[in-house]
Chains A and B, each alone.
Chain A
Amino acid sequence: MMQRLKRRKISKNKLIHIGQSLITYILLSCLAYVILYPVFARLMYSFMTAADLNDDTVFLFTKHFTLDNYKQASEFMNYGVNLIKSTVTVFIYSVLQLVAVTVIAYGLARFRFPGRGLLFVISIITLIIPPQILSMPLYFQFQDLNILGINTGLNLLNTPVPTALLCITGLGLKSGLLIFMMRQYFSGFPKELDEAAAIDGAGPFKTFFMVVLPSSGTMLITIFLFSLVWQWTDGFYVSVFEPTSEYLQVVVKQVYGMVKVATQGSGTVDVVGQSLINNAAFLLFIIPIIIVFLFGQKHLIEGVERSGIVG
């Protein structure tokens, strides 16, 4: 009697469990579909010709496979050269941002000094200042560089210097958020390690470089990847400080207009073709950063979890 009751109870629990996971899967799949469908559709449409788009029987799967959209888009964007240009500058910006954020956050998390709280509050405030407020005065400053009243007559616009300067001083794109994450991480970093190093006679700098940094690999990669992703997709700073540069972030915005101008004379590409080329340009622009993301996703996700915005 007892045994039968027990068995029935187990099977009931099991049923509830299966039901729960089924609902979880269905819900998650629906939501994942909403995110993935646009990306997938863009990818599928990039292989289409204008004829496919006008054909009502075509849905996602092309009847006339072509790579022409990519070819044309990469010509308009001068893809090869500009990809290298963008990659190199974005990489440099991210390294600078990583260095600045790490050093500043460590200072804020580990040492007591007057003004520490104020600096932290300021780093948060930088998040809510609309970037236009700062970028306009900075634009004029960098156009005609003035250091402490001495006019150097240097024009730094359209060079990477302004953005690099902002990155290295912890005021680059979303630096406030990165400082916040890094500070939280360092606050949770076991202090015993520091103390042990101090007893062994290491100064704060030696401790930082020899003890703290080597054991913070995941967190450093996380911050670097975040910086990389945001710098890559940044359209604001680059359009203010380097408007005539040919980074992919800048040219990808111009493809639509360029195709229009190019086709007005010849009449070879219609509105549909224009959209297709623009779509291919978009994909060419995000593919590098998606690849980086797929390689680093483990770090990105674990980093946020561990860094403990939570701590």
Chain B
Amino acid sequence: MKGLKNRYTSMQLREMKTGLLFTLPFIIGIVFFLALPLIDSFKISLGNINTANGYDIVVNGFENYKYMLEDVNYLEYLVDALKNTVINTPLIVIVSFVIAMLLKKEFVGRTFFRIIFFLPVILSSGVMAEIMVDVLIESIIDPTSASAMSKGALSGGQELVTNLLLSSDISAEISNYILYAQENISVVLSHSGIQILIFLAALQSISPSLYEASAIEGATAWENFWKITLPMVSPQLLVVVLFTVIDRFTDMGSKIMSYIYDIGFVKLRFGDSMAAAWVYFAIIGIIVLVLYFILKRFVFTYEER
């Protein structure tokens, strides 16, 4: 084996040293605040913490996992979280893409609309979900609620869409999905802020010369969309889909997240809580990995880049 000095030039060695220096805080953080806690929490999930004398982890096998996987509440919330993500992710991606397409063109008031669609990033993050538990006020301010509609705020829209769907020959499943989308539009919008910005940036970075060339060839707007716009934003589509899936799964307001927190920090069943968290983590990890490798095959790479 050759020494480091022989394998790399002195310049390369210097570059390595600088790189490691810049990332040193992160390396320290990873060791102390990521790797060690991860190992600890896995050990806790295999046993419990003996709080009698400080912080003492007792390991005794996979009992907690067995217990949690038989916990009806946990399983219910788990299925809930999966269902929510599966249903809402396509909606969020599609809605934010449509909004980005609308915001792409220059028009009066564009900045104003961009601010509004970004507002939910503030209004729906973190502690907000926990504060907004007041049923009375929630029912008043929900734009799709009965009270707002009866007072004329949104009347007619719901009926119109329902009638349209009934008179068309779209299958029942798709109709239901569209109705669901309409009813939950405020939830969807409240988690689309960053996605809209990513799509907007992607759309604006497409070179206009591509569209000019296709106009000369006589392409229609429909063809332009499928042959130019979609392939060109496909890398960001991948980022947005993964970001949305992760964001939905790790939403602090979701029942499963608060249940895990509750078992651990309120009921003080440390082992169970950690086992529940690890099962959830494994599920998220697998789904994100699988999605990444599937979607990556559809990402179009532009040669010149």
Interface of B is mostly: helix
Q: Are B118 and A169 interface neighbours, CB within 8 A?
A: no
Residue B55 CB within 8 A of the other chain = yes
Q: Are A253 and B197 interface neighbours, CB within 8 A?
A: no
Interface string of B113-145 (1 = CB under 8 A from A): 111111111110111101111101100111110
Q: Are A304 and B49 interface neighbours, CB within 8 A?
A: no
CB distance from A307 to the nearest CB of B (A): 8
Task: Pick out which of these stretches binds chain B: A5-13, A213-221, A283-291.
Answer: A283-291
Residues of A within 8 A of B137 (CB): 42, 45, 275-276, 278-279
Q: Are A301 and B55 interface neighbours, CB within 8 A?
A: no
Q: Which residue of B lies closest to A256 (CB)?
A: B134
Q: Are A45 and B273 interface neighbours, CB within 8 A?
A: no
Chain B: interface size category: 35 or more
CB distance from B224 to the nearest CB of A (A): 15
Residue B89 CB within 8 A of the other chain = no
Interface of A is mostly: helix
Q: Which residue of B lies closest to A203 (CB)?
A: B18
Q: Are B131 and A35 interface neighbours, CB within 8 A?
A: no
Please, how many angstroms separate the alpha-carbon atoms of A82 and B252 in the complex?
Answer: 24
CB distance from B139 to the nearest CB of A (A): 10
Choice from A110, A116, A310 contacting B198 with Cβ under 8 Å:
A310
Q: Max chain B CB contacts within 10 Å: which of A41, A122, A301?
A: A301
Q: Are B16 and A113 interface neighbours, CB within 8 A?
A: yes
Residues of A within 8 A of B40 (CB): 137, 141
Q: Are A116 and B19 interface neighbours, CB within 8 A?
A: yes
Residues of A within 8 A of B118 (CB): 297, 300-301
Please, how many angstroms separate the alpha-carbon atoms of A103 and B131 in the complex?
Answer: 35
Q: Max chain A CB contacts within 10 Å: which of B12, B22, B261?
A: B22
Residue A252 CB within 8 A of the other chain = yes
Q: Which residue of B lies closest to A166 (CB)?
A: B33
Q: Are A126 and B34 interface neighbours, CB within 8 A?
A: yes
Q: Are B33 and A138 interface neighbours, CB within 8 A?
A: yes
Please, how many angstroms separate the alpha-carbon atoms of A144 and B56 in the complex?
Answer: 12
Please, how many angstroms separate the alpha-carbon atoms of A294 and B118 in the complex?
Answer: 11
Residues of B within 8 A of A59 (CB): 151
CB distance from A188 to the nearest CB of B (A): 11
Residues of B within 8 A of A179 (CB): 26
Choice from B28, B37, B127 contacting A169 with Cβ under 8 Å:
B28
Q: Are B130 and A35 interface neighbours, CB within 8 A?
A: no
Q: Are B246 and A127 interface neighbours, CB within 8 A?
A: yes
Interface string of B26-57 (1 = CB under 8 A from A): 11111011101110110010000100001100
Q: Which residue of A lies closest to B190 (CB)?
A: A35
Residues of B within 8 A of A282 (CB): 131-132
Q: Are B131 and A114 interface neighbours, CB within 8 A?
A: no
Residue B164 CB within 8 A of the other chain = no
Q: Are B19 and A112 interface neighbours, CB within 8 A?
A: yes
Residues of B within 8 A of A34 (CB): 143-144, 185-186, 189
Please, how many angstroms separate the alpha-carbon atoms of A119 and B202 in the complex?
Answer: 26
Q: Are B16 and A38 interface neighbours, CB within 8 A?
A: no
Please, how many angstroms separate the alpha-carbon atoms of A72 and B244 in the complex?
Answer: 39
Residues of B within 8 A of A107 (CB): 18-23, 26
Chain A: interface size category: 35 or more
Residue B74 CB within 8 A of the other chain = no
Residues of B within 8 A of A37 (CB): 141, 143, 148, 153
Q: Are A128 and B284 interface neighbours, CB within 8 A?
A: yes
Residue A204 CB within 8 A of the other chain = yes
Please, how many angstroms separate the alpha-carbon atoms of A127 and B23 in the complex?
Answer: 18
Interface string of A68-87 (1 = CB under 8 A from B): 00000000000000000000
Please, how many angstroms separate the alpha-carbon atoms of A249 and B129 in the complex?
Answer: 12
Known: A128-B249, A136-B274. Contact between A170 and B37, CB under 8 A? no
Residues of B within 8 A of A113 (CB): 15-17, 19-20
Residues of B within 8 A of A139 (CB): 265
Q: Are B117 and A253 interface neighbours, CB within 8 A?
A: no
Residue A36 CB within 8 A of the other chain = yes
Please, how many angstroms separate the alpha-carbon atoms of A121 and B209 in the complex?
Answer: 36
Please, how many angstroms separate the alpha-carbon atoms of A282 and B133 in the complex?
Answer: 11
Choice from B26, B126, B194 contacting A233 with Cβ under 8 Å:
B126
Please, how many angstroms separate the alpha-carbon atoms of A278 and B22 in the complex?
Answer: 46
Residues of B within 8 A of A111 (CB): 15-16, 18-19, 22
Residue A308 CB within 8 A of the other chain = yes
Q: Are A31 and B189 interface neighbours, CB within 8 A?
A: yes
Residues of B within 8 A of A253 (CB): 127, 130-131
Q: Are B22 and A106 interface neighbours, CB within 8 A?
A: yes
CB distance from A196 to the nearest CB of B (A): 17
Residues of B within 8 A of A32 (CB): 113, 116-117
Residue A3 CB within 8 A of the other chain = no
Residues of B within 8 A of A140 (CB): 49, 54-55
Residue B107 CB within 8 A of the other chain = yes
Q: Are B37 and A38 interface neighbours, CB within 8 A?
A: no
For the complex of A and B, the 4 pairs showing the least CB-CB separation, nearest first, are A169-B29, A107-B22, A111-B19, A235-B127
Contacts A28-B113, A111-B15, A171-B29 supplied; 14 other A-B pairs, CB < 8 Å = A25-B109, A27-B102, A41-B140, A107-B22, A107-B26, A122-B30, A130-B281, A132-B257, A132-B274, A136-B265, A252-B131, A253-B130, A293-B122, A305-B200
User: Chain B interface (Cβ within 8 Å of chain A)?
Assistant: 12, 15-23, 25-30, 32-34, 36-38, 40-41, 44, 49, 54-55, 99, 102-103, 105, 107, 109, 113-123, 125-128, 130-134, 136-137, 140-144, 148, 151, 153, 185-186, 189-190, 194, 197-198, 200-202, 204-205, 236, 239, 246, 249-250, 252, 257, 260-261, 264-265, 270, 273-274, 277-278, 280-281, 284-285, 288
